[in-house]
Structure 1
Amino acid sequence: MNSWSVQLKDRAHRLWRRRITQLWASFVAVSMLLGFVVAGLGVPFVGTSVAAAEAGIDVFEALPESLEERPLAQPSRIEDRNGELIAEFYWQNREEVPLDQVSDHMRDATLAVEDHRFYEHGGVDLQGVARAVATNVLTDQQEGGSTLTQQYVKNVLIQNNHADGDTDGVEEAQERSGAAGYARKLREMKLAAAVENKYSKDEILARYLNINSYSGSPNAYGVEAAAQQFWSIPSAELDIAQAATLAGIVRNPSLYNPQINPEETLERRNVVLGQMLTYGFITQEEHDEAVEQDLGLEESERPNGCAAAGDAAYFCDYVQHAVMHSAAFGDDPEARVELLKRGGLTIRTSLDAQLQEQAVDAVHKRVPVGDPSGAGHSLVSMEAETGEILAMAQNTEYDPAGEEGDGSTVLNYSVDEAYGGGGGYQPGSTWKPFVLAEWLDSGRELTDTVNGTGESYTGFSNSCEPGDYAGEGYAPANAGDSDGASSSMPVLEATKQSVNRAYADMASQLDMCDIRDTASALGVRTGSGDALEEVTMEDDSQQVLYPSSILGTVSVSPLTMASAFTAFANGGSRCEPRPILEAKRADGEPLPIEDSACEDALDPAVADGIAYAMSQTFEGGTTEGLDIGVPAAAKTGTTNFEVGSTWLVGFTSGISTAVWTGDPDGARDWRANSEGKMPREVFGATVSGPTWQEYMREAAPTREAREFAQP
């Protein structure tokens, strides 16, 4: 024998000895594991050594004695005020169902391929463990010998670690090899015994079917979600072939994904059908018929998030932000996100589906989605006596990716930045009611006369801030829609005609700090969320104290204006916007959602005087021709042309609605516009007004609309 042959023989001998050593180590380890199980669970098993039994008791006593079973992650529902679905949010697509709502075929397929002796053992199948020992020792294959109950335990541990963000814990719960794998198996066995003592077999099977990952794109968790995703049917209707498909997926959800790897999935399904035949769950004829079928997928996608909310997407996005700001949903934003995506919440909102449809129609008709002019157009409407938001619409398509495109954006024009909006828009003359509120609150009257044609106004005071904010006087121009201005005109007429110079005269007789504070008391803040006194110029002076602010130079959101105007409709009581009526956990437990937050912000006589004055704008004023068939009050607003915003904010005693039209970037002069639906000269009654009118003609009669009487 030459030296090469001798070396080859020695090498083979060394490899064989190493393999024998590995096999022996595996045999010893698994045998000890078996001994631990038998000793720790108190199960008689011939051949188990006393030493192993005593060691097993010590090991088992050191392991956890009960399984922490948290509620399974389930989708949360956002509904309209009548309980109709708007959108769902989920981390795992799952819908828990009881066992009697799962087909017998699904139960049989699961038992056949995973644990056909499930109803005979006590959570740990010693025959299965012995078989696994033999397979692992005598072959290169790895067999776990896990029962269905042990698999349930493993899935619970994985879910818990996922929920905690513990990636190491997830890996530990999935470990299959070496000492760590045996330790995991030992823990599973003890916990499985505890589970068997706690639940009936049927309860364990139901929990198993609801926790499993059944693959898919995106992943479906639980048998009900899987049946709906792959075949658009409830799990109660799964036939033999479909049940075998799902049961086979569990072994390797990544590989056996019917939407990505249909051939591998089909092959695995047929293995399950063979097991079902072997253990007597189906006949030969049923087996042969099922094997001949293809997967027969009829897929249904379960949308996730506001992108699926259609025309209510921007309201949905606003609700999502409201959840993030509410302590009722958790102590911090992270906890609130977790609860929304995992908690199976049912959130009933204030949205009125019928009014939402009317709002969308009115907005899209006036300035269509993707209009070449580039104009933004939005409407937000709320119940005056409760603050409940009834409708929210704009002329764009909701883009969850946040990318600007042709008629698409994630930006919500109606709300503040913190709730998914921008920094707000200059409101123009819709700010004038705040000046009028201070005028009346100071003891002055609507019948008092003011100068609507002055060249320059002086005398502005600001008691709260040192400095001269109008030392050289203030000389605004009257807008093109301010007809009938005179040097001596009643305040009521100045309001009807929205005469800028008349309001400058009024403000010059008041304290600008008091006007600011009146607006603040009505809930007015900037679209960026800042209090009015926090909006400063380069020299740190307050923007709102300059006389020009009476014409609406501080940027605010439409929702802020609609909310502020509820005080005029309610005799001085102003209501915070309220998008969420109630929220319940998956078990039906209610969350502590606050009731309507309405507070007295104005003297009732002052509020009634403003409401009356604004109701007269329909009688020869700036809103003439925009009546809605019931008593209403409204105010137009137009910024200078370089800013490009126009408004109409109006109300009945039941509904307050703000409509905004303009450049989303706040820097476009429409006089240079030559495309789309936007006119070259735009006032509050030009575009925003007709949209408000069309919507309110349908919406206002659904709520009370009493007359606004002359004070």
Structure 2
Amino acid sequence: MAKKKKSKTAKRVGFVLLTLFLIGLTTTAICIGAFVVYLNTVVMPEADLDINSLSMKFNSIIYYTDNNGQERVLQKLASQENREWVDRDHIPENLSNAFVAIEDQRFYEHSGVDWKRTAGAALNWVLPIGSGYGGSTITQQLVKNMTDNDEYSVKRKITEIMRALTLEKKVGDKDTILELYMNIIYFGKNAYGVQTAAKTYFDKPVSELDLAECALIAGLTKNPAAYNPFKYPENAKERQEVVLAEMKNQGYISESEYTQAVSEQLAYQESTASGQGKGPYSYFTDMVITDVINDLQERQGFSESYARTLVTSGGLSIYATVDMDVQHTMETVYENNSNFPDISEDGTRPESAMIVLDPTNGQIRGVVGGRGEKTDSLVLNRATQTKRSPGSSIKPLSTYAPAIDQGLITPYSVVTDMPVFNNDGSAWPRNENRRYKGQTTIMDGVAASTNTVAVQVLKMLTPQSGFNFLTDKLGFTTLETDDVNYAPMALGALTHGATVREMAQGYTALANYGNFSKAISYTKVVDANGETILSNEENKPTQVFEHPESTPYYVNDLLTNVVEDGTGRLARISGIDVAGKTGTTTDNKDRWFAGYTPYYVGVTWFGYDARYGLPDLSPNPAVEAWSAVMNRLHEDKPNKRFNQPAEGEFVEARYCLDSGLAPDSACRGDVRGSRVATGWFYKDDVPQEECSMHRWRYSGRALLDLTRLFPLSVEVEDEYYCYEGRNDAIGEGQRVSSPNGHYRPRIVRKPKPKTSTTPTTPTPPTTPTTPTTPTTPTTPTTPTTPSTGDGGMVATTNTQELLEQIYVWWEQMVS
């Protein structure tokens, strides 16, 4: 019996163990499978740095194309970081061996990852019982420096391991890996790479370093600040001896070499080398460098420091879009202070910036980021880096163009120039001149830059639609969700503002008949091996309008009128069509002009860096600068007009200036004179509905049957010609008032002549007049109705008109 019990117990234990084993095996398989999926879906897509074709051995060169189609050198670049590339042939063997000895002693044995060190580092991370050494190989450190990924996480470490394995496999040469590492690693005191480190600490090229100096340089990378030999010579010396000891223990140097190197007195000496001795880069070169660095980070996943090194020292060929004639013209204008107002605030003068680009492809032809002669490279470029409120210059982009495209308005639509909202007891918005005209066409509202008109239109469009058009169609990236409101979208009061470049980019859609192009400063970037690593050659225009057959032509008419009869008159160019929009911010700190011709789009900003307010300046200095540049650029160009719509697509039609509808006879009989005008309409937009706003009020004269209400007391100029009639009131609150009351024809009674039997000399009137000639006495046979008076009407015996005049007399008496 006992044996049977033991046998059953053994079977049960075995069954349990087998079950646990199978569960563990299954769990392990699931975990491995999950890890493999994680590697394939999360880690591996980020593992390829694609640097096999990259080299950082040569200066990069920016090219441009001249007027004959020949490529010319615009600028040879030198690194703005303190970095110089050096080939491994010029790096002492002792320095290479020192790095391997202290950083990665099995460097030539592993394939990018030292699994023994990695396991040790992982164990030490879980159970901190070891010495605290790291597990990163030289290859892993190179990856880390190329990506600037310092995230402390398992994912980062796994990604780093996979990138190191991939990099070693693609490069296939350990010496190349080590060469890259020694040229990119940081050594403190803004010294990148061994060449710069040698000059920084010993004032000599790396090729001249001896063993002791090589060991010191190799030891700095662990903690450049703590081992800075100028500040902490004892720490630096101690670290140097650790490196030398590792080199001796691993057989790179002999005992005697070790002893001699340890006993050597190191002579630290900061670099006395002068600067590059070259003139500053142009604003265009600055822009190209910044654009390429940003695109390498965004498209290739490079770190900022690696991308900058690649641009300045990677042997790249960069093909710029600059037109040197345009660039030189802009620089000439902006270096001449007489082209700008002579004003200042606390000794600081206002600045200005401008971009000119080709609207057909978005290629930037010229840029200036400030006034005066440029004195340094890679300085603030106000055209590409400064965000300022664009004021009314954004209205065509955010409000008028999308509203036209959605069929909400035409240039001949009419809205009321009066406040739209009660903003905590204040009527909003206000116009710059603090006046409200009343019924206003979109054409006139845009020409005069009337704020209320823009807000009325945006109310129809909605701020969200305006925001979506800017961000989804025109490539604006500086906007925030707080900008989905009336002040930002209708008046340009953006949270952060917009750059001159963004504005110019947006205007390409207007200048190129709805075809939007992203603004670019280069067409392509080719590496040292002839491979294209960045390209903008596919930067094709995209149509942003739903109705390109009509919207662009309407917009052109609106903005051409701004230059012909509105706030942009100074921008006119003889023989060349010009369209544009001025901009002034509410706080008067920024002045803009965004304009275009059949040849170029140009956008100009003027204001203080420190946000001082500008005095009243007339004309707008942004328009002045724009005109100074653009007139020069068009001097040798043939006269040219904007494209016209296809024949039959647009037709002339009449409309009422107060309603925008088809006019009737009462529109022509307005007390102010005829209110009928002719517009150029798309064939489907010709007004069909007849005006119901004008009504005959007095004999032969019409007024506006228009009652406008607002919560606050508001004066509107054309209210003088309005009366409360049959039409429904618009708005809520009290009736708006007129500065001069309401129109009333004044009736003047004709005095009865006195009866006289003999001629008499007339008595002089109370006011000086020319004496009348003697009259023959007559006796009137019937009473006469009043004759014509100021603003009155011709008297008549018609019963209806008599009743009408009696009513007028009664109203005048009551008032």
TM-score for the superposition, normalised by structure 1: 0.52
Q: Over residues 122-166 of structure 1, what are the superposed CA-to-partner deviations in whole Å (9 max), with x where a residue is unaligned?
A: xxxxxxxxxxxxxxxxxxxxxxxxxxxxx948658968999x9x9
- Out of 61, 76, 85, the residue aligned to residue 77 of structure 1 is 61
Aligned to 2:317: 346
Question: Per the alignment, in what secondary structure is the counterpart of residue 72 of structure 2?
Answer: coil
Q: 1:394 to 1:319 in 2, by over 3 A?
A: same
Paired residue secondary structure (1:436): helix
Q: Could you tell me which amino acid in structure 2 is paired with residue 546 of structure 1?
A: Y
Q: Secondary structure at the match of 1:619?
A: helix
> In the alignment, which residue of structure 1 is the partner of 2:630?
696
Distance 1:167 1:654 in 2: 62
Distance (Å, rounded) in 2 between the aligned partners of 1:698 and 1:586: 39
Q: 1:72 to 1:620 in 2, by over 3 A?
A: closer
1:437 and 2:437 correspond: no
- Cα contact 2:56–2:310 (8 A) shared by 1: no
Q: 1:548 to 1:388 in 2, by over 3 A?
A: closer
Name the SS for the 1:374 alignment partner: coil
Between the aligned partners of 1:557 and 1:161, the Cα distance in structure 2 is: 50
User: Which residue type is aligned with residue 79 of structure 1?
Assistant: Y
Q: Is the 8 A contact 1:83 1:348 kept in 2?
A: no
Q: 3-state DSSP class of the match of 1:650?
A: strand
Q: Counterpart in 1 of 2:75? A: 86
Q: Which has the higher helix share?
A: 1
The residue aligned with 1:309 is 281
> Contact 2:92–2:207 at 8 Å: present in 1 too?
no
Residue 299 of structure 2 corresponds to residue 327 of structure 1: yes
1:707 to 633, 637, 642: 642
Q: Counterparts of 2:492 and 2:389 in 1: how far apart (Å)?
A: 6
Would the aligned equivalents of 2:516 and 2:544 in 1 still touch at CA under 8 Å?
Answer: yes
Give per-residue Cα distances to partners, 1:338-379, cap 9 Å, x unaligned. 422432111111122221111122223234999644312000
Contact conserved, 1:524 with 1:561, CA < 8 A, in 2? no
Amino acid of the structure 2 residue aligned with 1:661 = F
Query: How far 1:587 sits from its partner (Å)?
Result: 3.0
Give 1:545's aligned residue: 485
Per-residue Cα deviation, 1:256-297 (whole angstroms, up to 9, x for no partner)? xxxxxxxxxxxxxxxxxxxxxxxxxxxxxxxxxxxxxxxxxx
| 8 A contact 1:457–1:473 mirrored in 2 | no
Give the aligned residue type for 1:552: G
Give 3-state SS (helix, strand or coil) of 2:561's partner.
Answer: helix
Instruction: Note if 1:681 corresponds to 2:616.
Output: yes
Q: 1:412 aligns with which of 359, 370, 381?
A: 381
Q: How far apart, in 1, do the equivalents of 2:96 and 2:635 lie?
A: 51
Q: Which residue of 1 aligns with 2:389?
A: 426
Task: Return the alpha-carbon distance in structure 2 between the equivalents of residues 702 and 158 of structure 1.
Answer: 61
Secondary structure at 1:653 match in 2: coil
Residues 311, 360 of structure 1: 8 Å contact kept: no
Aligned to 1:226: none
**Which protein has greater RCO, CA pairs closer than 8 Å, 6+ apart?**
1
CA distance in 1, matches of 2:463, 2:54: 57
Residue by residue over 1:532-577, the C-alpha shift from the partner in whole angstroms, topping out at 9 and shown as x without a partner, is 3x343xxxxxx33134641110111111010001000111111111
Distance 2:590 2:608 in 1: 7
Which of the numbers 613, 618, 642 marks the counterpart of 1:669? 613
SS at match of 1:89: coil
Partner of 2:416: 451
Whichever residue aligns with residue 611 of structure 1, its letter is N
Write the mapping of 1:138-157 to structure 2, written as runs, cut at 5 A: 152=89, 155=92
CA offsets per residue over residues 155-207 of structure 1, 9 Å max, x none?
58968999x9x98479x99xxxxxxxxxxxxxxxxxxxxxxxxxxxxxxxxxx
Per-residue deviation, 1:398: 5.7
CA distance in 2, matches of 1:649, 1:160: 61
- Structure-to-structure mapping, 1:457-536, within 5 angstroms: 457-458=420-421, 475-480=428-433, 486-523=437-474, 525=476, 529-530=477-478, 532=479, 534-536=480-482
In the alignment, which residue of structure 2 is the partner of 1:632?
578
Deviation digits for residues 640-698 of structure 1 (CA, Å, limit 9, x no counterpart)? 2x3500000011233211100012233x122xxxxxxxxx2136x52110111121123
Deviations along 1:606-651, whole A, 9 cap, x unmatched? 12211221011121211113212311211000012x3500000011
Please report how far the alpha carbon of residue 332 of structure 1 lies from its aligned counterpart in structure 2 after TM superposition.
Answer: 4.3
SS in 1 for 2:281: helix
Contact 2:280 2:375 in 1 (8 A): no
Residues 697 and 343 (structure 1 numbering): CA distance in 2 closer, same or farther, change over 3 Å? Answer: same
**Cα distance, 1:249 vs. partner?**
6.8
Given the two structures, how large is their TM-score scaled by the length of structure 2? 0.46
Q: Which residue of structure 2 lines up, in the alignment, with residue 651 of structure 1?
A: 596
Count of aligned pairs: 431
Q: Contact 2:467–2:489 at 8 Å: present in 1 too?
A: no
Residues 343 and 321 of structure 1, relative CA distance in 2, 3 Å threshold: closer
Query: Is 1:428–1:553's contact at 8 Å kept on the other side of the alignment?
Result: yes
Change in Cα spacing, 1:369 to 1:87, as seen in structure 2 (3 Å) is: farther
**Cα distance, 1:474–1:607 mapped onto 2, change above 3 Å:** farther
**Equivalence map 1:28-47=2 (5 Å):** none
CA deviations 1:296-347 (Å, max 9, x no partner) are: xxx997568xx7314545434543544444525x544344234224321111
Task: Quote the Cα distance in structure 2 between the aligned partners of 1:568 and 1:358.
Answer: 25
Which moved further from structure 2: 622-631 or 318-327?
318-327
Amino acid at match of 1:358: T
Runs of 5+ unmatched residues, structure 2: 1-51, 66-70, 109-182, 184-190, 196-203, 215-272, 645-679, 683-815
Q: Deviations over 1:85-125 (max 9, x none)?
A: 324034766799xxxxxxxxxxxxxxxxxxxxxxxxxxxxx
Q: Which amino acid aligns with 2:365?
A: L
Is contact 2:593–2:623 with CA below 8 Å preserved after alignment? yes
Q: Residue 264 of structure 1 aligns with which residue?
A: none
Residues 608, 92 of structure 1: alpha-carbon distance in 2 compared, 3 angstrom cutoff: same
CA deviation map 1:502-548 (0-9, x unaligned): 223222333222222222234353xxx44x3x343xxxxxx331346
Matched, 1:594 2:536: yes
Counterpart selection for 1:568 from 498, 505, 510? 510
What is the identity, as a one-letter code, of the residue corresponding to 1:620?
D
Say if 1:612 and 1:95 are closer, same or farther in 2 by CA, change over 3 A.
farther
Structure 1's 156 and 401: CA in aligned 2 closer, same or farther, altered over 3 A? Answer: farther
Q: Is the contact between residue 394 and residue 491 of structure 2 (CA under 8 Å) also seen in structure 1?
A: yes
| The structure with more radius of gyration | 2
Q: Which structure 1 segments of 5+ residues have no match?
A: 1-67, 97-150, 174-210, 212-217, 223-244, 256-298, 403-409, 416-420, 459-468, 537-542, 671-679
Q: Give the one of 323, 327, 340 matched to 1:356.
A: 327
Q: Secondary structure at the match of 2:380?
A: coil
Q: Determine if contact 1:324/1:336 at 8 Å carries over to the other structure.
A: yes
Q: Distance in 2 between matches of 1:446 and 1:649?
A: 19
Pairwise CA distance, 1:428: 0.7
For residues 470 and 247 of structure 1, what CA distance do their matches in structure 2 show? 69
Contact 2:447 2:562 in 1 (8 A): yes
Indicate the residue corresponding to 2:692 in structure 1. Answer: none
* CA distance in 1 between partners of 2:464 and 2:311 (Å): 42
Pairwise CA RMSD: 4.6
SS of the residue aligned with 1:432?
A: helix
Judging changes above 3 Å, is the alpha-carbon distance between structure 1 residues 686 and 582 closer, same or farther for their aligned structure 2 residues? Answer: same
User: Does the 8 A contact of 2:504 with 2:603 survive in 1?
Assistant: yes
Q: Is the 8 A contact 1:535 1:544 kept in 2?
A: yes
